[in-house]
Amino acid sequence: MKEIVRSMEMPSNKVLSIKEDLKEKIMQSEDAVFKELHTKEKYIEALYIKTISDETVIQDYVVKPFFEITTAERFLDYLQSHPKVKPFENEEQTLEELIRGVAILFYQDFIFIFDSKVDRNNSVLDTTVETTIQGPQSGLSESLPTNLGLIRHRYPETTLKVESTTIGAISKTKVMILHDEKLVDQDVLRRVKEFLASVDIQMFQTGEQLLDLIKKSNRALFPVMLVTERPDRVAVNLAAGKVVLLVSGSSFAVVLPTVMKDFMASMEDIYQTYWVSIFLQVLRYVGFVTSLILPGLYVAVTSYNPELFRFQLALSIAGSRTAVPYPSFVEVVIMLFMMELLTEASIRLPKAIGPTATTVGGLILGQAATEAGLVSNIMIIIVSAVAISNFVVPINAFSFSVRIVKYIILALATCFGLVGVVLGFFMFLAYMVKLDSFGQPFLTLVQTKSSKE
């Protein structure tokens, strides 16, 4: 009691120096605010940055009570018991909090950190990348607390553990690590944490960057983590014992470890009846294999092993190729290249003219190319089949990788014919088996839950 009375009069030198320090560091900014409030018995000082702090919160929880509560002791009690108020720890941390939007309160001999962060991006967005016909339609928002709320809402388990860390030398982005304590593989969790600690980057904006960072360490062709915008997918993966990373300011969550099976799964599988989802799964795998080997197979069949297909088919391929002036692999490369350009262009183009460009490119170009005798009819069918089946793969990051692999198989087919296609495909499978995602093999037939190698 005595102590408080003493400190009521004048803050100590230490507090004063901290105050001056902070003020000096922050006050160059236009939007920094230093405010003093006085009543008869007490006075308080507040320091905050108004662009990232919510001034109404300060008004409601600091200013109003300050004038309503008359005695100095009572107001101190109020501050100390308020849930938004944290005691001061050290100067460095305080400064860091300050630039994230908290208000620093200097009251008597105490320094308080008052959480007045404003959350401007907390609106829940609609899914745009991983759309489904049925099931939830809303995705994550760009605000970390909102996202955490969304996930907690879908995953009401006491075992859900949330830890946080920061990544990025400049951006100091807050990253939350979510996992279910009961289900998670501790070994995987350890690896994830090690990985996050090893990340060395200046600006960290979104989870997708992690894909790239992990690639630089082992040059993987495939993403080994899943980036998703769907809270339902996050919840399902949490229940499967995976680790989820939420990044502040990004409406995408990162799921670790991710294996081939996850990339081929769409949330729709859960929302459909059994046979429908089995059918869709099979369809996806068939599409995946088709887009991988079809161009290679075409080259192998037309240039090395025309005996593979029955005579009628061989003859019609030969017939459609008679006008084409160059070898089959050049034909395939030209058409595939055109197709890649079209796909790229239609992503970049504004939404309004995107479809037009694709139609013009796809239909008219294809038609004209065959008319001019530059490519064969069958080639057009193959290229469009490849293009379409490629997009059957539900996760974008993965289908982009598949786009690259088909060129490798095409190259092998050009050099080795049918052997090249088959071995190329199996080498690709072997590569996927070799790849691991935080200790989990990327591709296995039976995905055992926790495999310790």
Partner 1 sequence: MNRYFLYLVILNMLINVIIFIPKILIEYRYKGAVMGVLIAIPIGIGMNYLYSHALNKFPGQGLPEILAHSKYRWLVNLHLGSIQIMWFSAGLITLLGFTDILSRFVNPEMPKLFLITIYLAAIFLIIQLPTKRVMYFLEIVLYLNTPLIGFIIYKTLTSEFLSWDSILEVGTHLFEKPSLKAMAAATYSFSGFTNLIIFNRVIKERLKIWNFIIILFLGIFNLFTTFFIPIGFHGSDGAQEYLYPWISTSDSLRLVYSPIERVLYIFLMFYMSISLMSISIHWHVALELLKGTFKEKENKKKNWMILAAFTCCAFAGVLFLNTVLLNKITAYWMILLLGVEVITVTIFFLWARRRTA
Partner 2 sequence: MKTLVKWRLIVISLSAVLLLNGCGFKDIDKRLFVVSIGVDKAKNSSKKYLVSLKFAIPGGKNKANDFFIVTEKADSMAEAVRAIKTKVDKEIDFSHAKVVVFSEEMVKLTDNAGVYYWLARRRDIQEIAWVAIGTPTAMDVLKVKPKSEQLPSNALFLSLGKDGSETPYIISEFYFDMKKRLIERGLDPFLPIIEAKKELLEVNSVGLFNKSKLILSLTQEETKILNHIMNRENKSALWVKTGNIKFIVSTTKIKTKYKIITLKGKQPCIKVSVKVKGNIEEMTAKITNEQLSRFEKAAEKRLKKQIKEVLVKIQKANVDPIGFGLRYRSRHFNNNDWEEWQRIYPHLAFKVDAKVEISDTGLIE
**Binds partner 2 (CB under 8 A): choice among 34, 82, 321, 381:** 321
- Give the per-residue contact string, 211-250, with partner 2 (x = CB under 8 A; - = no): --------x-------------------------------
Beta strands in 374-438 (DSSP E): 436-437
State how far the alpha carbon of 224 is from the alpha carbons of 60, 63, 142, 298, in Å: 47, 50, 23, 31
Interface residue with partner 2, options 316, 358, 396, 401 (CB under 8 A): 316
CA distances from 379 to 296, 299, 402 (A): 12, 10, 20
Site string for partner 2, 367-406 (x = CB under 8 A): ----------x-----------------------------
Choice from 166, 305, 320, 343 touching partner 1 (CB under 8 A):
305
Residue type present at position 327: P
Centre a 10 Å sphere on the Cβ of residue 245 and count the other Cβ atoms it contains: 23
411 binds partner 1 (CB under 8 A): no
Among 412, 414, 438, 440, binds partner 1 (CB under 8 A): 412
Write the burial class of residue 138 (CB in 10 Å: 0-12 exposed, 13-18 middle, 19+ buried): middle
Q: What does the alpha-carbon distance between residue 131 and residue 334 come to, in Å, rounded to a whole number? A: 32
Q: Which of 5, 282, 283, 318 binds partner 2 (CB under 8 A)?
A: 318
Of the two residues 276 and 318, which places its CB atom closer to partner 2 in the complex?
318
**Per-residue burial over 102-113, b = 16 or more CB atoms within 10 Å of its CB, e = otherwise:** bbbbbbbbbbbb
Query: C-beta of 418: minimal distance to partner 1 in Å?
Result: 6
Which residue, 90, 79, 157, 149, is CA-closest to 115?
79
306 sits near partner 2 (criterion: CB under 8 A): yes
The alpha carbon dihedral of 408, 411, 417, 419 has a sign of negative
**What's the closest the beta carbon of residue 156 comes to partner 2, in angstroms?**
46
State the nearest-atom distance from the C-beta of 300 to partner 2, in Å.
10
Q: Identity (one letter) of the amino acid at 4? A: I
Name the amino acid, one letter, at 312.
Q
Shortest CB 313 distance to partner 1, Å: 6
Q: Which does 321 bind (CB under 5 to 8 A by kind): partner 2, partner 1, none?
A: partner 2
Q: Which of residues 16-35 bind partner 1 (CB under 8 A)?
A: none
Residue 313 lies near partner 1 (rule: CB under 8 A): yes
Enter the tokens of residue 316: 């019609």
Out of 94, 225, 417, 438, the residue judged to bind partner 1 by CB under 8 A: 417
> What are the backbone dihedrals phi and psi of residue 105, each rounded to the nearest 5 degrees, phi first?
-110, 130
Query: What is the H or E stretch that residue 452 is in?
Result: none
Least distance between partner 1 and beta carbon 206 (Å): 32
Residue 449 binding partner 1, by CB under 8 A = no
Residue 317 near which of partner 1, partner 2, none (CB within 5-8 Å, type-dependent): partner 2
DSSP helix/strand/coil, 411: helix
197 counts as binding partner 1 under rule CB under 8 A: no
Distances from the Cα of 241 to the Cα of 74, 234, 256, 390, angstroms: 48, 11, 9, 29
Q: Which residues bind partner 2 (CB under 8 A)?
A: 219, 301-304, 306-307, 311-312, 314-324, 327-328, 377, 411, 414-415, 417
